[in-house]
Amino acid sequence: MTNTLDRRTLLRLAGASAGTAVLAGATLAGPSPAGAATAAFRHGVASGDPLPDGILLWTRVTPTPDALPGSAAGPDVEVSWQVAAEPDFRAPVAAGTLTTGPARDHTVKIAVSGLAAATTYWYRFGHAGEWSPTGRTMTAPPADAAVDRLRMGVVSCANWEAGYFAAYRRLADRGDLNLVVHLGDYLYEYGTGEFAAAGRVVRPTQPAHEVLTLADYRIRHALYKTDPDLQALHAAVPWVITWDDHEVANDEWSGGAENHTPGTEGPFADRLAAARQAYLEWMPVRVGADGTIYRRFRFGRLAELSMLDLRSYRSAQVSGPDVDDPNRTITGDAQMTWLKAGLSGSAARWKLVGNPVMIARLDVGALPSWLLGPLGKLLGIPENGAVLNADQWDGYNADRNELVDHLRATGTRDVVFLTGDIHTSWANEVTTRTTLFEPAAAEFVVPSVTSDNVNDFLKLPAGNALSRLGAGLLRSTNPHVRWAELDGHGYGVLDVTPQRCRMDWYHLADRTSSTSGSRWVAGWSVGTGSSRLRAESAPV
């Protein structure tokens, strides 16, 4: 167990402290066409990682009653697939077959190429005369295309036991999205009752125990893929996804995790290998030749999206002045080099970063040592003050400084971090010791889909006085935090144009209701050439 604060402790403390191509015009209008999952295709369909000429398609087939997820049972079978420009599939533009079986848990993943850019397609899978639900997807525009608008749903932290995924349904019903960006914690590894809705299990997870083995992780992935709202959003738009820690274990780092005890749970390397194998089987994610999942997507000249992996290469979490150690890393050297080069070398107007944990400073309890000078070092105060959550970039100051210093040195502007993980809603300006009065980037943090946040830990209603006090104190001691809300569950919608990048936050009325509605709670934007945030009124 590390000596840092995990997100649950962080939330408790916060509560206690109280003519051109137009992508939006080509979006997938109307509700998702995915019908009820069929017997053979009970886990739905999904697409992801759009390229100008291709898309990744996914499903899972259940060919026989015994071929259940994680069972290692059932035969190898052929599955056909089709892609068409019209939903009636009268003239497929691409088709094929492939074989799957228990070696990959009967999942199917096909990288379709040769498609037209910036085009909506329909796709489906077939087995033994039975068709899967129909999914819709979209390819990216050419890298040099002039694009007027890009709109995406942004989500994070969906805990099965803590509620229903109505947030996914609300996004699927919009009909105006080009894609969904999922920033991690797609699922949770805990056993039943270990992390639920303010201590109440809304719906029990499977398997009932904490997941450790390959079979366990496969079963947990399969459970999530039975959720009808999750299926609807997967079938409506392509997703771009990265992982955070709970896809393996809480507060994971490159050599272990807070929620892993080798003495009773076996070698961490075995658990990690099982979790990663199941993830790559069950998720529509492209993997590099070297096994990396940090990757980049271009949407014409308007935007480029860099998705980070902040678990596979990071040093163990620490506390105190050790968070400033330049030998510690959250990205790893290779990913940092890739990230810096990609941001400063991008020809896109907006440089978006899919960032699993918060990069903005969160200073509490003491002045930062760079204001106190030698006295700060003598007292052992970390560079940016006392660290509340060393699992964020706050625990890896050297990497954050290196990245921000690079942005400043190269004159790289219009960088926006899209962040999840901490179950709460934030609009931040990214500053360090060298950019205190002129932010280097903007950051939008989306709330959890269902996972507990401040009022849940306090067992108080949303918007209670302690939560409001906590948000106020955080803002007052961190002027670069322009807005924070600590109670709501829901999602974000990012709207990108050549002139500005705007995030709107929507919160659910009741995460424990499968039919919950949502309401707009805030909007913040950043204009080109500036990292200063501006509050926005509700969208029309």
What's the rounded Cα separation, in Å, for the pair 299 and 290?
25
pLDDT of residue 109: 98
Q: Which of 341, 251, 354 is nearest to 309 (CA)?
A: 354
Tell me the pLDDT tens digit for each residue of 488-529: 999 999 999 999 999 999 999 999 999 999 999 999 999 999
Is 2 a residue whose pLDDT tops 80?
no
Let me know the angle formed at the C-alpha of 62 by 61 and 64, rounded to the nearest 5 degrees. 140
Categorize the per-residue pLDDT at 477 as very low, low, confident or very high, splitting at 50, 70 and 90: confident
pLDDT of residue 61: 98
pLDDT of residue 29: 36
Q: Which two tokens stand for residue 122?
A: 């329909």
Share of residues in the chain with pLDDT > 90 (%)? 81
Q: What is the mean pLDDT of residues 264-280?
A: 98
**Burial per residue of 40-68, b for 16 or more beta-carbon CB atoms within 10 angstroms, e otherwise:** bbbbbbbbbbbbbebbbbbbbbbbeeebb
pLDDT of residue 434: 63
Strand 386-387 versus strand 415-419 pairing type: unpaired
Tell me the pLDDT tens digit for each residue of 114-135: 999 999 999 999 999 999 999 9
Question: Where does 463-531 have alpha helices with state H?
Answer: 465-477
Three-state secondary structure call for residue 78 = strand
Q: What element of type H or E holds 179?
A: strand 179-182
Tell me the pLDDT tens digit for each residue of 432-454: 876 667 899 999 999 999 999 98
Q: What is the mean pLDDT of residues 103-124?
A: 98
Q: Is 144 exposed, middle or buried (0-12, 13-18, 19+ CB in 10 A)?
A: exposed
The pTM is what?
0.92
What's the rounded Cα separation, in Å, for the pair 154 and 237?
12
pLDDT of residue 388: 82
Give residues with Cβ within 8 angstroms of 183, minimum separation 6: 154, 155, 156, 242, 244, 354, 355, 356, 418, 419, 420, 421, 446
What's the rounded Cα separation, in Å, for the pair 311 and 296?
17
Answer yes or no: are the C-beta atoms of 446 and 505 closer than 8 Å.
yes
Q: What is the mean pLDDT of residues 4-32?
A: 39
Is 360 a residue whose pLDDT tops 50?
yes
Answer yes or no: are the C-beta atoms of 498 and 150 closer than 8 Å.
no
Q: Which two tokens stand for residue 425?
A: 């809603």
Q: What is the mean pLDDT of residues 213-235?
A: 98
Is 48 a residue whose pLDDT tops 50?
yes
First and final C-alpha spacing in the chain: 48
Q: Which two tokens stand for residue 314?
A: 């990071």
What's the rounded Cα separation, in Å, for the pair 244 and 220?
16
Q: What is the mean pLDDT of residues 462-489?
A: 92
Is 248 a residue whose pLDDT tops 60?
yes
Domains in the chain: boundaries:
9-24+144-185+289-536
Tell me the pLDDT tens digit for each residue of 327-336: 999 999 999 9
Q: Which letter does DSSP use for residue 421 in this model?
A: S
Mean pLDDT score of the chain: 90
**CATH homologous superfamily, domain 9-24+144-185+289-536:** Alkaline phosphatase D (PhoD) (3.60.21.70)
What's the rounded Cα separation, in Å, for the pair 101 and 72?
8
Answer yes or no: are the C-beta atoms of 404 and 168 closer than 8 Å.
no
Q: What is the mean pLDDT of residues 175-196?
A: 97
pLDDT of residue 278: 98
Strand 415-419 versus strand 441-445 pairing type: parallel
